[in-house]
Structure 1
Amino acid sequence: MLKITVGDLDINYQIQGKGPPLLMIIGLSFSLLDWGKKLPDRLAQNYQLILFDNRDAGQTSQSTRPYSITDMADDAAGLLDALKIPKAHVFGVSMGGAIAQQFALKYPDKLDKLILGCTMAGGSCSQYGDISGVMDGNLLELLFTPEFIKSDRAALEVFLKETAPFHSKGEALQRQLQAFATHNTCDTLPNIKATTLVLTGDRDIVIPPTNSNVLAAKIPKAKLEVIADAAHGFSYSHADTTAKLILDFLQ
């Protein structure tokens, strides 16, 4: 784990692997630890991964003010600048996918290919799901199918015990929620120029799969892949499938 100053933030980040840079943007409340080990290890065989904690999460600074998803995209772009990386592929999941959309719109020259996982455009063109588990701590039921929880419960409980201390809480979580609530790219998605892969699990209750249909339809150079029997946390539960889809797309 390393820290670097970007604006008024000290951003906690990690670099793994060698190859073309791939910036990975995690979702609401989570830290870079929530990617787990399997997916990053697979991707790092071919790419230089840049994982980081968003503002108000993990070991990155807490914000001193309210902010927008576009501000969080500025953080991501600033991190690349601080690391002297002129251009990268970007993979964002959930709220991280919203950040990635705003990054693609504001910083097209810093973006190679774009990957949007289990995310949405926001606004009136989106279907909202259930995020109550973020507030009450029932994350397993929110992220995974009952079948996956049953078969992997012991490992999941260990994973959650390791990651939960770094999740956003209190005012920090409220600021992230407020930023995500105001995200809206319904009318600007056609302006995304990057070749785009849209990923979703077919059993996502947090951000229903219909949202990925909207993204794939509105982004000009987008391709949709639906992962069977997968929920919102598909990048963890279906890491091998996710890695193959991403590697095939980027190569």
Structure 2
Amino acid sequence: MPIVKAGDIEIHYERAGEGPRLLFISGTGGDLRNKPNVMDGPLPKHFDTLAYDQRGLGQTVKPDEPYSMAQYAEDAVNLMNAIGWQSAMVIGVSFGGMVAQELAITHPHAVEAMVLACTSPGGEGGASYPLHELQEMTREERARHMIPISDRRHDEAWAKANPDTYEQLVAMAAADPFADEPGHAMGQRRQLEARAQHDTWDRLSDIRSPTLICAGRYDGIARPETQEKMVSRIPHAELKFYEGGHLFMLQDKQAFPDMISFLTGGVI
């Protein structure tokens, strides 16, 4: 279990593959113990891939204090420095895309190229769905609330027409095998509190790395209109939509090849 001191915390990470350096920043509640994860997908076949549990999550330290988006960006660059990377390509997914924005703005030298997937800039550009407002719900209640938002095709009529699939989605979304661990609920809450404060809108023009924005056509968390605003603000950015919702990377088989092609300059 690789753990490294990165700034003021110890971070759990995994590293696999060969090729160009790639930092993968995961979404809300990300925990590398949940399998399969990004290290089981196509990225390590093309990149020297580094993924990690963010502060408050998984096997990384969970300080019981307020977290900030700036801290999450510092954690990312501190981890890179700790393993000897001065720069890397970056894929940030959902919450991880928010962290990637902060990283690219505050440490432009560290980001060679970037993919922002199903994420939002906040502020006047539009925020992702306010998950922090759902913390009083049980996990099952949150799952049932979020399924038709995560993919707007999965409305009440769809759920009635596909009851078995719907209940499978609820069970998967509600599952949390580490829920009883000390600090687990606190760390997740701290992350959502930081997420609620995310706002890079007025600074997006400071991003200098080539950027691909990827999004699901039916995503009600990071909405399509927000993606259009974001691509208009980031220099050297392009936008691609995929057939899916917030989980379009699992729903549309073209998503990962497009990301890989973008980051490798078309060499797959």
Relative to the length of structure 1, the TM-score reads: 0.86
Give % identity.
27
Question: Does the 8 Å CA contact 1:130/1:207 hold for their aligned counterparts?
Answer: no
Decide whether aligned partners of structure 1 residues 231 and 169 sit closer, same or farther in structure 2, where only a CA change above 3 A counts.
farther
Question: Does the 8 Å CA contact 2:130/2:196 hold for their aligned counterparts?
Answer: no
Give 1:236 shift: 3.0
Q: Tell me how far apart the structure 2 counterparts of residues 152 and 242 of structure 1 sit (CA, whole Å).
A: 24
Q: Tell me how far apart the structure 2 counterparts of residues 62 and 207 of structure 1 sit (CA, whole Å).
A: 27
Letter in 2 for 1:6: A
Structure 2 residue aligned with 1:237, among 233, 246, 251? 251
Question: Does the 8 Å CA contact 1:39/1:236 hold for their aligned counterparts?
Answer: no
Decide whether aligned partners of structure 1 residues 37 and 71 sit closer, same or farther in structure 2, where only a CA change above 3 A counts.
closer
Structure 1 residue aligned with 2:208, among 177, 193, 202? 193
Question: Does the 8 Å CA contact 1:120/1:126 hold for their aligned counterparts?
Answer: yes
Structure 1 residue aligned with 2:259, among 228, 246, 249? 246
Deviations 1:87-146 (A, max 9, x none): 100111111111000000111111110110111111122154363677532447264563
Q: Which residue of 1 aligns with 2:56?
A: 56
Question: Does the 8 Å CA contact 1:26/1:32 hold for their aligned counterparts?
Answer: no
SS in 1 for 2:219: coil
Q: Which residue of 1 aligns with 2:82?
A: 82
Decide whether aligned partners of structure 1 residues 52 and 191 sit closer, same or farther in structure 2, where only a CA change above 3 A counts.
same
Q: Which residue of 2 aligns with 1:206?
A: 221
Letter in 2 for 1:233: L
Q: Which residue of 2 aligns with 1:136?
A: 138
Q: How many residues are treated as equivalent by the alignment?
A: 248
Q: Tell me how far apart the structure 2 counterparts of residues 47 and 152 of structure 1 sit (CA, whole Å).
A: 35
Q: Tell me how far apart the structure 2 counterparts of residues 34 and 143 of structure 1 sit (CA, whole Å).
A: 20
- Of structures 1 and 2, the one with the larger relative CO (CA 8 A, separation 6+) is 1
Q: How does 1:60-75 map to 2 (within 5 A)?
A: 60-75=60-75
The more displaced of 205-214 and 45-54 is: 205-214
Letter in 2 for 1:136: T
Q: Which residue of 1 aligns with 2:13?
A: 13
SS in 2 for 1:187: helix
Give 1:237 shift: 3.3
Q: Which runs of 5+ in 1 are unaligned?
A: none
Q: Tell me how far apart the structure 2 counterparts of residues 196 and 35 of structure 1 sit (CA, whole Å).
A: 28
Decide whether aligned partners of structure 1 residues 42 and 26 sit closer, same or farther in structure 2, where only a CA change above 3 A counts.
same
Question: Does the 8 Å CA contact 1:98/1:183 hold for their aligned counterparts?
Answer: yes
Q: Tell me how far apart the structure 1 counterparts of residues 235 and 215 of structure 2 sit (CA, whole Å).
A: 18
Q: Tell me how far apart the structure 2 counterparts of residues 116 and 71 of structure 1 sit (CA, whole Å).
A: 19
CA radius of gyration, larger in: 2
Q: Tell me how far apart the structure 2 counterparts of residues 210 and 218 of structure 1 sit (CA, whole Å).
A: 13
Q: How does 1:101-140 map to 2 (within 5 A)?
A: 101-129=101-129, 131=131, 136-137=138-139, 138-139=142-143
Question: Does the 8 Å CA contact 1:35/1:236 hold for their aligned counterparts?
Answer: no
Q: Tell me how far apart the structure 1 counterparts of residues 169 and 199 of structure 2 sit (CA, whole Å).
A: 36
Give 1:243 shift: 1.1
Q: Cα RMSD over matched residues? A: 2.8
Q: Which runs of 5+ in 2 are unaligned?
A: none
Q: Which residue of 2 aligns with 1:47?
A: 47
Give 1:67 shift: 2.1
Give 1:164 shift: 4.6
Give 1:173 shift: 2.1
Q: Which residue of 2 aligns with 1:183?
A: 198
